[in-house]
Amino acid sequence: MRYQLLRPSPPLGPSSGGVYVHVPFCEQACSYCAFSVVVGKEALIPDYLRALRAEWVALRETLTWTPSTLFIGGGTPSQIGSEGLSELLEIFSDESFEEITVEVNPESLSGQLVSALRAASVTRVSVGVQSFDAEVLRSFRRAHDPETARDALLCLREGGLENVSIDLIFGAVCESDASWERTLMMAMDPKFAIQHVSCYALTVEKRTRLHASVADHPHEDVLARRYRFADDLLADHGFLDYEISNWARQGYHSRHNVNYWRRRSYVGVGVGAHSFDSRRRWWNESSFHRYLRAIDEGRSPVVGSELLSATEIRSEEIMLGLRCSDGIPCDWVVIPDELQSFVEIREGRYHLKAEAKILADSVLAALLEKLDDDSKARSS
């Protein structure tokens, strides 16, 4: 059952793609966050919304594919309030999206905001819970406590939003195995009716508060143990792992994220947002004020791009495919002997073994390095 593929609806067509909108406003910066966020800039929300509208109007004319999914992420989209979110979603009201996801944080969720989401036909809400342990939340510098998280989930349920996902992070220094188990069991509480769970191992990025303290770096053995526990528990509760860090009940996977993993086109709107057209990536200015200035002056906010080679494309297809439950065709790659123990073959496709998933980054890095070495040897 764990390896069943999620196919609740036909896949997006080759001429379909996703739209990601970045909302950088936050109440406070989390200790692990390396995204483009701003704190204490709520007075500039109207300016930012005007910039988003202007950028989208210009971008929409360039698209050669049909937008099928919309993801409002951050940052903290719910930080801009019900009126702000209504105005933001109205920017895209002429589109016919198959899925609209909005990220929210518990401390900024309200009944009024839930009503605004429903009025805008939002189909999916992702809640940044991260943990139900108060000490862990404090170590992450989250602006909510466990009680607020529970209230937010109940608010969504009572407000009629049924497709709810939560984000969880494991591996905090102050977290114990028992604490992680309690967090997962709380997430499984039937009264919340959660349909999707994303579990991420704590990673310590540069330019974050955690990076300044080696003691706050999670140990690999701890991460592996907590991941395996989550994988087993979620499977026991009817969640299918369709990507290494994502589990969903049948029919509730994130179509927008699958769009990323299958390398379909997507366009990013807002500060620091990235775009992709299957061969080329480009990205916007990561400075909030420089982004606003570019839009105000009628300039493109794009500050960089890269064109992928055929080898890089195939490497991405292999890496992303093996991270997902459907794997990759066996004729795509020859697995070297030293990595055979990490994969298995089912229906003519390679899949990572369950015990290899937490090691996916290192396994895939080793595989791609081997393929690169073989390619260089053949060309020399």
Is pLDDT of 2 > 90?
Answer: no
Cα 56 to Cα 109, 234, 269, 270, distances in angstroms: 26, 38, 7, 9
As given in the structure block, the two tokens for residue 12 are: 């997006």
**159 assigned to some structural domain:** yes
Tens of pLDDT along 175-197? 999 999 999 999 999 999 999 99
pLDDT at 69 over 90: yes
238 and 337 share one domain: no
Residue 380 confidence (pLDDT) above 60: no
Q: What would the two tokens of residue 191 be?
A: 């009264």
Structural domain includes residue 313: no
Instruction: Point out the domain boundary residue: 261, 291, 311.
Output: 261
Residue 363: pLDDT band by 50, 70, 90 thresholds? confident
Q: In the chain, pLDDT over 70 holds for what percent of residues? A: 89
Let me know whether 46 and 191 are in one domain.
yes
Higher pLDDT, 14 or 215: 215
Beta-bridge partners for 69: 18, 99
Q: Is the pLDDT of residue 351 over 60?
A: yes
Q: Is the pLDDT of residue 9 over 50?
A: no
My answer on whether 41 and 121 are in the same domain is yes
Burial (0-12, 13-18, 19+ Cβ within 10 Å), 178: exposed
- Domain interval for residue 351: 327-379
Alpha-carbon gap, residue 247 to 188, rounded angstroms: 12
- What's the chain's average pLDDT? 90
Identify whether 230 is part of a domain.
yes
What is the pLDDT at residue 209? 66
Q: Is 339 found in the same domain as 250?
A: no
8 Å CB contact between 108 and 76: yes
Determine which of 41-50, 88-97, 123-132, 206-215 has the lowest per-residue pLDDT on average: 206-215
Could you tell me if 189 and 157 are in contact, meaning their C-beta atoms sit under 8 angstroms apart?
A: no
Residue 215 has a pLDDT of: 65
Residue 374 lies in a domain: yes
What is the pLDDT at residue 220?
A: 81
247 and 112 in one domain?
A: yes
In a domain, 320, yes or no: no
Q: Is the pLDDT of residue 33 over 70?
A: no
CATH of the domain at 34: 3.80.30.20
Specify the range with the lowest mean pLDDT, choosing from 12-21, 140-149, 258-267, 368-377: 368-377
Of the ranges 11-25, 42-56, 201-215, 360-374, which one carries the lowest mean pLDDT score?
A: 201-215
Number of folded domains that form the chain: 2
Alpha-carbon dihedral sign for residues 89, 90, 95, 97: positive
Task: Look at the pTM and tell me if it is higher than 0.75.
Answer: yes
Residue 357 within any structural domain of the chain: yes
> What residues contact 225, with CB distance under 8 A and at least 6 apart?
177
How confident is residue 30, by pLDDT bands cut at 50, 70 and 90?
Answer: confident
Same domain, 331 and 257: no
Residue 279 lies in a domain: no
pLDDT for residue 251 is more than 70:
yes
Alpha-carbon span 305 to 314, nearest angstrom: 19
Q: Kindly tell me if the per-residue pLDDT of 10 is higher than 50.
A: no
End of a domain among 244, 261, 278? 261
| Rounded Cα–Cα distance for residues 228 and 234 (Å) | 10
Task: Compute the distance between CA of residue 65 and CA of residue 144 in angstroms, rounded to an integer.
Answer: 40
Q: Tell me: pLDDT of 71 over 50.
A: yes
Residue-wise pLDDT for 118-139, tens only, equals: 999 999 999 999 999 999 999 9
Q: What is the pLDDT of residue 11?
A: 38
Report the DSSP beta bridge partners of residue 198: 167, 246
Shared domain for 36 and 166, answered yes or no, is: yes
Q: Alpha helix locations (H) across the chain?
A: 45-60, 81-90, 111-119, 134-139, 146-158, 177-187, 220-236, 255-261, 288-296, 310-323, 360-379
Contact partners, residue 303, CB within 8 Å, separation at least 6: 283, 284, 285, 286
pLDDT of residue 3: 27
Is residue 283 in some structural domain?
no
* Residue where one domain finishes, among candidates 261, 294, 312: 261
Q: Check residue 50 and give its pLDDT.
A: 98
My answer on whether 124 and 208 are in the same domain is yes
Sign of CA dihedral 26, 27, 33, 37: positive
At residue 14, does pLDDT exceed 60?
A: no
pLDDT digits (tens, 9 = 90+) for 321-338: 999 999 999 999 889 889
Same domain, yes or no: 232 and 371: no
**129/45 same-domain check:** yes
